[in-house]
Amino acid sequence: MATTTASISIASSDIIPGMAMNYYKTATLNKAGGCVGLEKIQSGTREYTSASQVELLDESVVTTDKANKVYIKNLSTDATEWIEVAMQAEVLGRLYAGDWMFIPWSAGSSNNIQVQPSVASSMKLEYVLVHE
């Protein structure tokens, strides 16, 4: 049985002056409706040279309506560059230079994940899809 875990750690000493904050959580990523770990992974780096919206992931790579998890990171180091992430024409948000996101994904017809770079020059992102 595969065991896949995800964790996040957030620490700051200056969000609230005089009060340090430390937050750490971890989760085991299991298949839908059970305790068996997710065992398939697809990952890569993509480079975009257009400001047009393109599909990053489509439902053909996963089992629809199952426990799919997606990590996306904007690899740009230019603070003025961002990547807009959308699903079903609904914008989820922008990933600015160095920003990342980790979300569950209920893949299905027209639930494809699209990205749109803010500039037409070379922008890179990395992604990891953990799925059933």
Q: Which amino acid is at 125?
A: L
- Distance, CA of 72 to chain centre: 3
Place of tokens 């059933």: 132
d(CA 123, CA 86): 17
Residue 5 lies in a domain: no
Q: What is the CATH number of the domain that holds 96?
A: 2.60.120.10
pLDDT in tens, 10-69: 888 887 777 888 889 999 999 888 888 888 888 888 888 888 888 887 777 787 778 889
Residue 21 lies in a domain: no
Residue 4 lies in a domain: no
User: Which residue segment(s) compose the domain that 37 sits in?
Assistant: 29-131
Residue 79 lies in a domain: yes
Tally of domains within the chain: 1
Residue 16 lies in a domain: no
pTM: 0.86
- Give the DSSP letter string of 84-122: EEEETTEEEEEEETT-EEEEEE---TT--EEEEESSSS-
Residue 15 lies in a domain: no
Q: Supply the pLDDT for residue 1.
A: 62
pLDDT in tens, 74-107: 999 999 999 999 988 889 999 999 999 999 988 7
Residue 2 lies in a domain: no
